[in-house]
Amino acid sequence: MRAFLIFLIVAGLGFVFLRQRQSETPSPQAPIATQSVGAKPRPAALTPAPRGQASQYNWMKRSLDRARDVTEQSRAQTQESQKP
């Protein structure tokens, strides 16, 4: 009886997986190049945000910026304390 219930659960999960795969939209195929072979499109240059100017939603960059600032402060204090 347990084996039958396990089989039903696995079959049900398989059915849900297959239904989901069928309902997904197919990924677009590689676009056909209409430009000449010699001309390559140039992507827009990405410019990083100035340090300390991270968006309020970009908490990862703000954390890294803060860690770098603290490291620099610590290094400067160590250098100041070691001066004769």
State how far the alpha carbon of 75 is from the alpha carbons of 12, 62, 68, 72, in Å. Answer: 60, 20, 10, 5
Those residues whose C-beta lies under 8 Å from the C-beta of residue 45, and which sit 6 or more positions away, are: none
For the segment 11-30, what is each residue's pLDDT rounded down to a tens digit? 999 999 999 888 876 666 65
The answer to whether residue 77 sits within a structural domain is yes
Number of domains into which the chain is organized? 1
The answer to whether 41 touches 35, Cβ cutoff 8 Å, is yes
One-letter amino acid identity for 80? E
Q: Which domain holds residue 70?
A: 53-84
For the segment 35-80, what is each residue's pLDDT rounded down to a tens digit? 555 666 677 776 666 666 666 778 888 888 899 999 999 999 999 9
The answer to whether 62 touches 50, Cβ cutoff 8 Å, is no
The answer to whether residue 83 sits within a structural domain is yes
The answer to whether residue 39 sits within a structural domain is no
